[in-house]
Amino acid sequence: MTETLSHAASAADIVDGLTLEQKAALTSGASFWRTKQVGPVPSIMLTDGPHGVRKQDESADHLGINDSVKATCFPPAVALGSSFDPELLERVGVALGEEARAEGVGVLLGPGINIKRSPLCGRNFEYLSEDPIVSGVLGSALVRGLQSQGVGASLKHYAANNQEDDRMRVSADIDPRPLREIYLRGFQRVVEDEQPWTVMCSYNRVNGIPASEHHWLLTEVLRDDWGFDGLVVSDWGAVTNRVNALAAGLDLEMPANDGRSDAQLVAAVRAGELDESVLDTGATRVVSLVQRALAGADADASYDRDAHHGLAREAAAASIVLLRNEGGVLPLAPEASVAVIGEFARTPRFQGGGSSHINPTRVDSALEAIREVAGAGAVAFAPGFTIDGSDAAGLADEAVAAASAADVAVLFLGLPASLESEGYDRRDIELPVEQLELVDRVLAVNPNTVVVLSNGGVVRLAPFAERVPAILETWLLGQAGGGAVADVLYGAVNPAGRLTETVPVRLQDTPAWGNFPGEHGHVRYGEGLLVGYRWYDARELDVTYPFGHGLSYTTFEYGDAVVSSDDDGLALRVPVTNTGERDGAEVVQVYTSLPGSAVARAPRELKGFAKVALAAGERREVEVRVRRSDLAYWDTRVDLWLVEGGEYTVEVGASSRDIRGAVTVDVEGDPVRVPLTVESTIAEVMAHPVAGPMVAPAFAAMAADMLGGAHADGEATAESAGGLGIDAEGMMQMMGAMPIGRAVMFPGSPFGFEQLEQLIASANAPQA
Ligand code: BGC
């Protein structure tokens, strides 16, 4: 049976042989994690995701309440993103695929690539960045790796699921440009480049329509514009109207609902309210997915737990961001006596709560790993506080005593698991107050203090960022994070992570402040395009650490950049030299802007990056390519991506605020013909390739007339002010802003309504 399904018959033929009831049955789950076995179509398993395999046997749930089988807990997306390393994410994807295959899982529910709109989002630890290029490039790499193993990805949560509060109902109200340029751009890239087997619709509404019933999102954009050929699955419980959802392009409803909504589909077809061909399409996509999963399945598959733990450690180390290192406190000398302080060193926080919660094959603590390097005798430990903030009496005093007796104090701070999870957002971005107090007390007795942070979302670091000599942001590092922290502390690994999100000075400075999490069912994305660093740069706000920032134990020098442009986009080449004494890796970042652009833009936007490993003293020419499509903005007049022509500034930097060079390049714009209407302004008509030459002389004459005959050539003088008190330039501006249909009513208009209609018709006629 399986043979027939996977190799011989086409999915459409199989669906042809099914009854109406069977077809409806195919499009919803059999259980929490399985599709239905229907006729010749076997059932397959879908399982969370995204940074490990969360396969549950009994007592299934999607909130991480019940345990799943043991699996490697790789670093969550917040950490992996900071690696800025697509090749690494691809390898993690391969390993995830191997584990999924060994567990008989056909689709792993990830990656999540939603944009980090506000640091308050409780689920930011599951997402990659505040920037769509980073999310798209790294998300693609993970999908590529995973699917290379014959296991499908589920790109989620499509779309605009940028908060947890009220996530099942809230409408994300977003203007077309930010929706396309920020919130959909990463999804578009992954779909176009990698064709994930499935895309998961989100719970929320987008501009008033539930994502599960959003024909524009699920069909017009996803399939018609981007060419998606896979299956759309609902987030678990996202469907409220199955008939509308199927018609909108949602193929598979999960989880099971006792056949209730299957019956609704059958009834709708019988009543003539739903075309049976729509159901055929959905059912065919389910069968195709099953075929793909069966083709990838291997009953004998297994994986090497130790090797995966090793990869998890490598990935964790590559994800750590060295935020500050004054006076070369790091790396630590192995012979230094160390006071390890903070419960997180002994009880690591390595993943977030909810559906991504993995049952790890093992967990390394940083304390053990440090003791392995430095010897147990040289490492004192004091918990300093309790993770939930209770019963801490005496712990801080003991920690301060340990710190004062050691050469170096390494202070592990972080957020308790209860503060960040799927399902709810944070209320602030503060570290617990007892931890902040401990920093001050430890610093007072030992200036050689290193802070190591464990948090899934950004925390405010301003209280100590200028006073603590060394800070490591380790995010949530997965099960092997403890060893990775020791690797970086002692220099076995030279840190090379970079921030994929800004660390703001205050919550009040953040882009969505005042518009998060919304009210009465709506959240207005009032910051528009200015998300993340785009906002801080546009407003010239100080930040504690900028997007793209991260230090190394070595230093990198940039030479002169050159940029070239061709039909595919831009290529920036810059020599980079490792000027220090250690091997290391630099993340070369390329930002563009277009001074004088006709549309609103952020001061700089990341368009490409390259991570490059350089041995001590090595110099290499690094090339970063920028796709032409990434230069485009979404033009709301014609509903198209458009590259605006002009002289672009291309900056190359070590962070968004550490720009090492800038070059300019001329880019030819896409031809655009905005259809003219009577409401088009005179300036728009004059700029039109067909109508412009026809009307320009007439309007120049009209302007001259209105100025009393003076200086229609545009030469501006005080004398030319005429009766209106403005000069020729002002007159052209005033007229330019006038809709042409209104201008014909004014005295001196060069033509009447009829001629205007003819002009518009010939301007809009298709050109030969
Ligand atoms: C989450 C998804 C997850 C699904 C299945 C939902 O609550 O939003 O990310 O894949 O549950 O567990």
Judge whether 18 lies within some domain: yes
The Å distance, Cα 299 to ligand 1 centre, comes to 26
Residue 511 lies in a domain: yes
User: Is residue 342 a part of any domain in this protein?
Assistant: yes
- Is the same domain home to 462 and 406? yes
Distance from C-alpha of 474 to C-alpha of 654, rounded to nearest angstrom: 19
For ligand 1, atom 5, the nearest C-alpha belongs to: 62
Report CA(165)–ligand 1 centroid distance (Å).
15
Both 502 and 620 in a single domain?
Answer: no
Q: 235, 262, 635, 727: which one is catalytic?
A: 235
DSSP H/E element including 483:
helix 481-489
Q: Residues lining ligand 1, judged by CB closer than 6 Å?
A: 48-49, 62, 109, 156-157, 235-236, 355
Q: Whose CA is nearest to atom 4 of ligand 1?
A: 236
Alpha-carbon distances, residue 224 vs 214, 246, 654 (angstroms): 14, 16, 38
Question: Which of 667, 699, 714 marks a domain boundary?
Answer: 667
Query: Which atom from ligand 1 is nearest to the alpha carbon of 110?
Result: 10
Instruction: Report whether pLDDT(1) > 50.
Output: no
Q: Assess whether 616 and 692 both reside in one domain.
A: no
Q: Which of 31, 35, 48, 358 to mutate to test the pocket of ligand 1 (most atoms within 8 A of CB)?
A: 48
- Identify whether 61 is a catalytic site residue: no
- Among 212, 235, 357, 424, which is best to mutate for testing ligand 1, by the most ligand atoms less than 8 A from CB? 235
Residues 491, 354 share a domain = yes
Q: Whose CA is nearest to atom 2 of ligand 1?
A: 235
Residue 116 lies inside a defined structural domain of this protein:
no
- The answer as to whether 89 is a domain residue is no
Strand 152-158 and strand 107-109: the pairing is parallel
Same structural domain for residues 383 and 517? Answer: yes
Half-sphere exposure of 248 (CA within 13 A, CB side): 25
* Atom 8 in ligand 1: residue holding the nearest Cα: 235
| End-of-domain residue from the set 640, 667, 694 | 667
What is the CA(150)–ligand 1 centre distance, in A?
Answer: 22
d(C-alpha 569, C-alpha 668), whole Å:
10
Give every CB contact of residue 498 below 8 A, 6+ residues apart in sequence. Answer: 82, 84, 321, 548, 549, 550, 587, 589, 655
Other CB atoms within a 10 A radius of the CB of residue 750 amount to: 16
CATH code of the domain covering residue 502 = 3.40.50.1700
User: 152 pairs with which residues across the strands?
Assistant: 107
Q: Mean pLDDT over residues 393-399, rounded?
A: 95
Output the CA 236–ligand 1 centroid distance in Å: 6
Q: Is the pLDDT of residue 719 over 60?
A: no
Residue 723: inside a domain = yes
Do 589 and 506 lie in one domain? The reply is: no
687 and 661 in one domain?
no
Residues 350, 429 share a domain: yes
**What pLDDT does 57 receive?**
75
Query: Of 634, 667, 700, which one is at a domain's C-terminal end?
Result: 667
Predicted confidence band of residue 718 (pLDDT cuts 50, 70, 90): very low
The verdict on residue 244 lying in a domain is no
Residue with tokens 């931890």: 435
Smallest CA separation from ligand 1 atom 3, residue: 355
CATH of the domain at 663: 2.60.40.10
Ligand 1 centroid from CA 354, angstroms: 8
Tell whether 439 and 530 lie within a shared domain. Answer: yes
Predicted confidence at residue 672, as pLDDT, reads: 86
Residue of 56, 109, 198, 202 to test ligand 1 pocket, by largest number of atoms within 8 Å of CB: 109
Count of domains forming the chain: 4
- Tell which atom from ligand 1 comes closest to the C-alpha of 203: 8
Domain annotation covers residue 346? yes
- Please state the pTM of the whole predicted model: 0.95
How many Å apart are CA 420 and CA 623, to the nearest integer?
Answer: 38
* pLDDT tens profile 588-645: 999 999 999 999 999 999 999 999 999 999 999 999 999 999 999 999 999 999 999 9
Closest CA to 508 of 538, 475, 546, 542: 542
Overall average pLDDT of the 666-677 stretch: 93
Same domain as 337, residue 453: yes
List C-alpha distances in Å: 445 to 408, 439, 449, 462: 10, 10, 9, 21
Q: Is 126 within 8 Å of 352 (Cβ atoms)?
A: yes
Q: Nearest C-alpha to atom 12 of ligand 1 is from which residue? A: 62
Looking at residue 75, its pLDDT comes to: 98
Where in the sequence is the domain holding 289, given as residue range(s)? 1-41+256-296
Atom of ligand 1 nearest to the CA of 126: 9
Contact by Cβ (8 Å): 392, 441: no
What is the chain's Cα-based Rg?
Answer: 29
500, 586: one domain: no
- Could you tell me the distance, in angstroms and rounded to a whole number, from the CA of residue 32 to the centre of ligand 1? 11
Instruction: Grade residue 8 by pLDDT with cuts at 50, 70 and 90.
Output: low
From start to end of 364-504, where are the E strands?
379-382, 408-414, 449-454, 470-473, 503-504
Residue 714 has pLDDT above 50, yes or no: no
Q: What digits encode the pLDDT tens for the residues 315-367?
A: 999 999 999 999 999 999 999 999 999 999 999 999 999 999 999 999 999 99
The identity of residue 651, as a single letter, is E
Q: Are residues 448 and 323 in the same domain?
A: yes
Distance of CA 734 to the CA centre of its chain: 43
- Residue 66 pLDDT > 80: no
